Amino acid sequence: MKRATLTKNPDDVSGMFDEVAKNYDLTNTVLTGGLVHVWRKTTTQALDIYPGMKILDLAAGTGTSSAHYARQGGDVVACDFSRGMIEEGKRRYPELAFVEGDATNLPFADASFDATTISYGLRNVSKPEVALVEMCRVTKPGGTLLVCEFSRPTNSVFRNLYKFFLGVAMPAISDLVSSDAVAYDYLAESILSWPTQEELAQKIVSAGWEAVEYKNLTNGIVALHRARKPL
């Protein structure tokens, strides 16, 4: 079983996701107590999808979020660098367009999409700052960026309980429901080492986006960052 580290070697990370693809969505639902569905609904609403809106969904995994966007009328491309995830996604959602690609070197032309979104995937990219620049490149002027990512709980007591969950409870639960529980040790480490909401907002600005704002979900367990590409 592959075990990625915080160096986030692309081959290690993609290989790890290849191995957890089959049970990935089930494991996420169990580990979040179903909250992932609430967060996905909030993310979909924040996109303000209209019929024919061209959306790039990065780190799309098995296409669960992409399918939600498509149901709202979006013209969605689901992109991921894990071949295993894409294969599972094609099996589940044959109507979706899946593309294998690296967020730091996207295989799309400039200004191709009205919106670019990435959920729970930016922290797994080896160079997130480069990925944010690439996302800006492929988004049309005036288009939207949406980053939904695990973040820093705002309440100190809740934050300590959350650290306990990530370090103790999550490995135990993932051992029961995941095909590769070792991978979730890395996921916990990557969450704890991720920048704060304000730090991520600054990285987004530095990548060329404007009007950056964020919203904490479930006391900051997850943060939803939204930005616009300058006209």
Q: Is residue 191 part of a domain?
A: yes
- Mean pLDDT lowest among 18-32, 58-72, 194-208: 18-32
pLDDT > 70? residue 170 = no
Q: Check: pTM over 0.75? Answer yes or no.
A: yes
The whole-angstrom separation of Cα 214 and Cα 225 is 4
DSSP symbol at 60: -
Mean pLDDT of the chain: 88
The total of other beta-carbon atoms located within 10 Å of residue 61's CB is: 25
Nearest-5° Cα angle at 30, 167 to 172? 35
Q: What is the pLDDT of residues 37-73, one digit of tens each?
A: 999 999 999 999 999 999 999 999 999 999 999 999 9
Residue 122: give its domain's CATH number. 3.40.50.150
DSSP symbol at 105: B
Structural domain tally of the chain? 1
pLDDT value for 15: 80
pLDDT value for 35: 84
Those residues whose C-beta lies under 8 Å from the C-beta of residue 11, and which sit 6 or more positions away, are: none
Q: 89: part of which helix (H) or strand (E)?
A: helix 83-92
Q: Would you call 191 helix, strand, or coil by DSSP?
A: helix
pLDDT > 70? residue 113 = yes
| Residue span of the structural domain in which 156 resides | 10-228
Q: Is residue 92 part of a domain?
A: yes
Q: Is residue 50 part of a domain?
A: yes
